[in-house]
Amino acid sequence: MNNKLDRKKTFNNDIIILNGLWGSGKSLLSPILSSIKGVEKTKIEHNYEDLCTLRYLNKIEDDACITLLKTYADISQYNNLIGREVNLRWNDDTGLKNSPNSFKYIIRMFRKDEDSVINEINENNYALCIMTHMITLAPDPIVDAFGDRLKIIEVVRHPLYLVRHIYSYLERFESEKIFTISFNYKENEVPWFASTWKDKFVKMTLMDRVLYSIIFCYEELFKSLDVLEEKNVNLLVVPFESATLDTKNFLKSLEIFTGRGFSKSIKRTLKRQKIPRKNINQGLGYVKYGNVFNSNITEKEDYKERWNTVLEGGSKSNIEEFNKLIDRYNKKWPSQLNRYR
Q: Given a cut of 60, is residue 323 above it in pLDDT?
A: yes
Instruction: Spell out a b/e string for 36-47, using b for 16 or more CB atoms within 10 Å of the CB, else e.
Output: beebbbbbbbee
Whether the pLDDT of residue 285 is over 60: the answer is: no
Q: DSSP letters along 175-238, please?
A: STT--S-EEEETTEEEEGGGGGGHHHHHHS-HHHHHHHHHHHHHHHHHHHHHHHHHTT--EEEE
> Residue 271: which pLDDT band, with cuts at 50, 70 and 90?
very high
Asked if residue 277 has pLDDT above 80, the reply is yes
> pLDDT over 70 for what percent of the chain?
96
Q: Note whether 144 and 66 are within 8 A (CB).
A: yes
Residue 53 has pLDDT above 50, yes or no: yes
pLDDT at 293: 54
- Decide if 156 contacts 164 (C-beta within 8 A): no
The pLDDT value given to residue 296: 77
Mean pLDDT for the chain overall:
92
Residue 180: CA count within 13 A, CB half-sphere: 23
* Crossing angle between the packed helical segments 299-313 and 163-171, to the nearest 10 degrees: 40
Contact between residue 224 and residue 216 where contact means Cβ atoms under 8 Å apart: no
Residue 239 or residue 289, greater confidence: 239
**Kindly report the CA angle at 222 between 274 and 43, in degrees rounded to 5?**
45
Give me the residues paired with residue 183 across strands. 190
Radius of gyration of the chain (CA): 20
Range with the poorest average pLDDT among 98-107, 169-178, 197-206, 287-296 = 287-296
Look at residue 101 and tell me whether its pLDDT is greater than 80: no
Specify the pLDDT at position 135. 97
Output the pLDDT for position 288: 46
Task: With H, G, I as helix, E, B as strand and everything else as coil, classify residue 231.
Answer: coil
More confident residue, 233 or 115: 233
159 preceded by a cis bond (ω within 30 of 0): no
- Residues 203 and 297: their CA atoms lie apart, in Å, by 36
Which CA distances in Å does 110 have to 81, 82, 88?
Answer: 11, 8, 15
Average pLDDT over residues 57-78: 97
Residue 1 has pLDDT above 60, yes or no: no
Instruction: For residue 164, give the nearest of 286, 60, 30, 4 by alpha carbon.
Output: 286
- Identify the pLDDT of residue 211: 98
CB 98 within 8 A of CB 43: no
Which of 248-256's residues contact partners 24+ apart within 8 Å by CB, and which partners?
A: 248/276, 251/32, 254/32, 254/33, 254/36, 254/153, 255/36
| pLDDT value of residue 294 | 60
Please count the residues of the chain.
Answer: 341
Q: What residues contact 255, with CB distance under 8 A and at least 6 apart?
A: 36, 261, 262
At 90 the pLDDT is: 75
The per-residue pLDDT for 282 is 78
**What whole-number distance in Å separates Cα of residue 76 and Cα of residue 179?**
20
Confidence of residue 295 (pLDDT cuts 50, 70, 90): low
pLDDT category of residue 289 using cuts at 50, 70 and 90: very low
Q: Is 210:220 a contact under the CB 8 Å cutoff?
A: no
Top pLDDT among 108 and 313 is at 313
DSSP assignment letter at 262: B
CATH class of 15-340: alpha beta
Q: What is the structure's pLDDT at 198?
A: 97
Tell me the one-letter amino acid at 334: P
The per-residue pLDDT for range 80-96, each reduced to its tens digit, is: 999 888 777 777 777 77
| Average pLDDT value for residue range 223-239 | 98
Distances (CA, A) of 77 to 69, 274, 317: 12, 30, 47
What pLDDT band is residue 280 in, cutting at 50, 70 and 90? Answer: confident
How much is the pLDDT for 148? 97
* Residue 16: count of CB within 10 angstroms of its CB: 26
- The pLDDT score that the predictor gives to residue 235 is 98
Q: Tell me the per-residue pLDDT of 106-157, one tens digit each, with 9 for 90 and over.
A: 787 888 888 899 999 999 999 999 999 999 999 999 999 999 999 999 999 9
pTM of the model: 0.93
Domain boundaries, the chain: 15-340
